[in-house]
Amino acid sequence: MTNSHRPVLLDEAVTALLGEVPLEHANYLDGTFGRGGHSRLILQRMASSSKLLAIDKDPQAILEAKSIADPRFSIRHTSFANMSDIVLPKSLDGILLDLGISSPQIDQAQRGFSFRMDGPLDMRMNPQEGQSAQEWLATADQKSIAKVIKEYGEERYALSIAKAIIASRDEGVDIRSTRQLATLVASVVRTRDYDQDPATRTFQAIRIHINQELNDLEKGLTMSLNLLKPKGRLVVISFHSLEDRMVKQFMQQHSKASIPRGLPLRESELPKSPMRLIGRIKPSSFEIQQNPRSRSAVMRIAEMVGQP
């Protein structure tokens, strides 16, 4: 597996999911199959009596999964936001979510995710469904564009970028390619960290909006509470602050009991929290050196409380 195709925190994520001693007759879910790096290692390490279900929105991921000839493995073409439709309550021993975009998706110019290569401005994880980035930018108003870039990209030049996009449209120039958009953003964003392209935050924001990534994440996290067995693990790898903040707050919220202030309760009467925090892991300096794209990754792990 090349560095560009090797998932970030691969060994750490699979160990966190399975534990040091994998369970017999366990059921695991890889909610973001990608190109199968995590799934393949899970299959290598999990017990022969266990099963792995993978999910992905990307049709190319579904095609890649056909190369796995293991009767313990199956895959469904959908979002992990829909996993409660295909998984029974309290049936999973572990859920793994590797969020964001994969290196193979970035490296394919025709997918429209990269500002470094020229291609059609698509950005859909599933090109068979929904509105492309080009279609959205061609119809959205200035306020909506600025709001998306500001909230999902945390871009301080969001309003200026939105004005430039609308001005381009008013001049009869639709933004159809990644290079067009990157060039337009660079003309507005005059300052940026030396190691970050001016278009980074804008591309991130539009991609998140087009694919409804934060909405999917919120749904997936909530579903995990009902799908995981007692002692089941939730392992989530995030790549930007919006995702990580949501994961962190979710795990913290559900790992401590909510007690009204001043309510007199004995310890035995305290409400039980459904989760307990296991840990937080970042890539090693060696991994970051081998794969610079890993530098922003954060993995958080929580476990359902109770007896299996």
pLDDT in tens, 21-50: 899 999 999 999 999 999 999 999 999 999
Q: Beta strands 275-281 and 73-77: pairing type?
A: unpaired
Q: Is the pLDDT of residue 122 over 90?
A: yes
Tokens standing for 177? 């390619």
- Which three-class secondary structure state does DSSP give residue 21? coil
DSSP 285: H
Cα 71 to Cα 32, 59, 61: the distances in Å are: 19, 21, 18
What's the rounded Cα separation, in Å, for the pair 196 and 218?
Answer: 28
- 8, HSE (Cβ side, Cα atoms, 13 Å): 29
User: What band does 229 get if pLDDT is binned at 50, 70 and 90?
Assistant: very high
- Model-level pTM? 0.90
| Residue at 109: amino acid letter | A
| pLDDT (0 to 100) of residue 201 | 93
List domains and CATH numbers for the chain.
10-98+213-304 (3.40.50.150), 110-211 (1.10.150.170)
User: What band does 251 get if pLDDT is binned at 50, 70 and 90?
Assistant: very high
Contacts within 8 Å (CB) and 24+ apart, 139-146: 141/166, 142/166
For residue 248, how many other CB atoms are within 10 A of its CB? 17
DSSP H or E stretch at residue 303: strand 298-304
| pLDDT (0 to 100) of residue 259 | 47
Which residues are within 8 A (CB) of 250 and not within 5 positions of it... i.e. 6 or more apart?
221, 222
Q: What strand order describes the sheet that includes 73-77? A: 73-77, 51-56, 27-30, 92-98, 228-238, 298-304, 275-281
